[in-house]
Amino acid sequence: MRDFLSFGEPLVGFYPSDGPSLIDSPGVVKTWGGDTSNFAIGVAKLGKTVSYLTRVGDEPFGRGFLELWRSTGVDTSLVEIDKARKTGLYFVSFDGNKHSLTYYRTDSAASAISLASLDSLAIESYRVLHLSGISLGMSPGACDVGLELIRRAKLAGSMVSFDVNYRKAQWESPQAASACFSKALALGVNILEITDDEMKALAWGDCLSDVEHRFPMVETIALKRGAAGAELVSNGQRISHPAFPVSVVDTVGAGDSFDAGFLTQIVEGQVLSEAIRFAAATAALTCTGKGPLEKMPVRSEVERFLAGI
């Protein structure tokens, strides 16, 4: 049995090589990204087994992702190669400590996934299914796949993790996104990850209690608040943890690393207070590099960091 099945879209990221703006920079630096790809790599680096369900283009970026996943221990047996479509891209600029992302992902290879991709999938072979709002927002077909995965995972007794990761450009309106996410949660999500900005954008309230009352069927809700730390509610138990002070270079991918750190600890049976501490450390270390992967830690690095606190 494998620990995780991750479903979603990989994206190739481009950063300005000099300065904060792509407009003024003489060149760009490439990185590998996409929330559920980051997650898959993150849990693999933390020592867990994971398969990635997605599609890539038959071009250098798609082949590069396949090499990356295999080199980091991510199982690629569920990855399909699309001969007609390309792998999605995103471009990053900075405004102080904040980043802005421009996407080129319309009609990407991953967005063309369909229920036929699940024909040979044995969902009962995985302890945890992880997907996100980005996974559902790729296309109507991808939404169908994500919802069906949750249904099957629920029937198989697998745990389901859902990170909201709301991206305005993927949806007709916040109301449309909220309706889709709410449907997914009602199908049997066990762990929900969200940010305070996403709560406000989706009109889900202003605090963790508001989300808890809105979705009482969800067992565990993790609120990721960046520099303000993280909060957790699980079956009435409430825990918070401050962000670790580090020299922040880039926050892209930090939330994905938090998910990876938290869920690996849950799979190992750690208590929630230790799980959120480990997750906060994993996210903090990721923020010390440019892009989601440059400083994404392996387990020994997280443990050394926590031992030095």
Q: Which residue, chain included where needed, has tokens 């994404």?
A: 296
Are 73 and 47 spatial neighbours (Cβ–Cβ below 8 Å)? no
Are 110 and 96 spatial neighbours (Cβ–Cβ below 8 Å)? no
Does the active-site annotation cover 256? yes
**Which residue from 214, 212, 226 is spatially nearest to 178, judged by alpha carbons?**
214
**Which residue from 262, 198, 272 is spatially nearest to 237, judged by alpha carbons?**
272
Q: Give the SS3 label for residue 74.
A: coil
Are 130 and 263 spatial neighbours (Cβ–Cβ below 8 Å)? yes
* 220-224 and 191-195 strand pairing: parallel
Are 134 and 6 spatial neighbours (Cβ–Cβ below 8 Å)? no
Q: Which residue, chain included where needed, has tokens 């109507």?
A: 140
Catalytic residue, candidates 3, 35, 75, 256: 256
Catalytic residue set:
256
